[in-house]
Structure 1
Amino acid sequence: MRVLVTRPEPTSARTAAELKRRGHEPVLLPLMQAIQQPEALMKAPETEASALAVTSAEAMRVLETLPQDRQAPYLALPVFSVGRATARAAEAAGFAAISIADGDGSSLAKLLISRMDAAAPIVYLTGTPRSSDFEATLQKAGYALDLRECYRMIPTSLSDAAVADRLDPMPDAILVYSSETARRLAELYARTAQSLDWQRARFLCLSDKIACALPAEFQPRSQWPMEPREDLLLLLL
């Protein structure tokens, strides 16, 4: 099966390798790219901070760019990860105490509330744009966040010719990992609806929330797994 991978590098390459292992033909078209902002991490966490929260492996990659002495105060904290992939990145970065949520911001917030006292702040390594679910749930429960926006996601620059090169012939399935990517697909569809066979593809989204960000024309052909995990997503192929 011909499968379009829309996630940013370097994760798109790992997904492509897994697709090949499963006998599929991956087509890479990253629609977003990360701009790292390591300066957001140069100030050490406050001494009273109780834990570190992370919702993307990209935050771990930014942390790894710091000098060792700047990384150490973060590595001393227990880390709460949104899911398995981010937990693997945290382990690779050197964290020892890692707790794993069920793949979304709400489950991560609930895990922290069940484990940590609200008296101490939680350091949150994150990017922009992002969903507000995690922050809203914690703040409603009375938790303080030390917010560090250490990267931002921006659209990749793609000409119509570059898009056509990847999407003609149209892949059988398109993997969609974020709401921002879903909105970018809407932009590409508006630009190329007359020249590309978009009706051919299925849209496999990491969650129902992401599927809702797709154009209305795509939603009847969208699916998502019971949990926002890539291994479950690929089972839909």
Structure 2
Amino acid sequence: MRVLVTRPEPASARTAAELERRGHEAVLLPLMQAVQQPEALASPPAPDTAALAVTSAEAMRVLETVPGDARAPFQSLPLFAVGRATARAAREAGFGDVSVADGDGHSLAELLIVNSGQNPGASIIYLTGTPRSPDFEAKMREAGRSMDVRECYLMVPSTYSDAAVIEKLTPMPDAILVYSSETARRLGDLHDRTAECLDWPRTRFLCLSEKIARALPADFQARSQWPMEPREDLLLLLL
């Protein structure tokens, strides 16, 4: 199958390699890109910090740009990752104590709340980007947990001319992989710009979660699917 990968680099290259290993043709068109903001990590964690929470591997890439003495206080903390890919990036970045949630903000918050039960007043550092889903922070606030939020990267739209989009999507992919709500919304914009030139009705939208599928334009939602858990290995099985 011809499959469009919309996630940012370098993750898109890894997904493309896995698709090709499975016998598919991967087409790369990252719709967002990360602008790193390492200055958000300039100050060390507060002395009462109990753990570090991460919802994206991009935060680990930013941390790796920080000099070793400034990075060490973060690496000494137990790290709670939203899912397997983020956990793998954390281990590669030098974290030894890594716990893994089930792939979304709610499950990450639940994991942290359970594990900080003996010390609910301790602060948790959250390395994150913007824009982002509010689910994790909302659940933590509900539970009365204190957080030090460090916005260490900014996700901005990648820009392509209509001609470049048409060239990439000709022939139209059989499936488009969608990893974020922001990307789902951007696909609607691409459709509006190229609908007369591309055969959009022939493609399926394989989304990492139902929440992401709901961010697609209404016409796309009927052709969307998502796995039972927000995991890429399960997403690719939908192909």
Question: Shorter-chain-normalised TM-score: which range?
Answer: over 0.9
Instruction: Report the Cα offset of residue 149 of structure 1.
Output: 0.0
Normalised by the size of structure 1, how large is the TM-score?
0.99
Alignment of 1:154-165 (within 5 A): 154-165=156-167
Q: 1:6: which partner in 2?
A: 6
Q: Structure 2: which amino acid aligns with 1:24? A: H
The whole-number CA distance in structure 2 between the counterparts of 1:183 and 1:157 is: 14
The whole-number CA distance in structure 2 between the counterparts of 1:97 and 1:160 is: 46
Q: 2:197: which partner in 1?
A: 195
The whole-number CA distance in structure 2 between the counterparts of 1:156 and 1:150 is: 19
Q: 1:94: which partner in 2?
A: 94
| Number of residue pairs the alignment of both structures matches | 237
Answer yes or no: is 1:103 the counterpart of 2:103.
yes
- Residue of 122, 125, 135 corresponding to 1:123: 125
Answer yes or no: is 1:48 the counterpart of 2:48.
yes
| Percent pairwise identity | 72
Q: 1:175: which partner in 2?
A: 177
Alpha-carbon displacement from aligned partner over 1:149-183 (angstroms, at most 9, x marks no partner): 00010000110011001111100000000000001
Instruction: Report the Cα offset of residue 193 of structure 1.
Output: 1.0
Q: Structure 2: which amino acid aligns with 1:2? A: R
- Residue of 143, 146, 149 corresponding to 1:147: 149
Instruction: Report the Cα offset of residue 118 of structure 1.
Output: 1.7
The whole-number CA distance in structure 2 between the counterparts of 1:92 and 1:175 is: 25
Q: Structure 2: which amino acid aligns with 1:150? A: C
Instruction: Report the Cα offset of residue 86 of structure 1.
Output: 0.1
Q: Structure 1: which amino acid aligns with 2:149? A: L
For structure 1, which runs of at least 5 residues remain unmatched after alignment?
none
Q: Structure 2: which amino acid aligns with 1:149? A: E
Answer yes or no: is 1:218 the counterpart of 2:208.
no
The whole-number CA distance in structure 1 between the counterparts of 2:191 and 2:218 is: 11
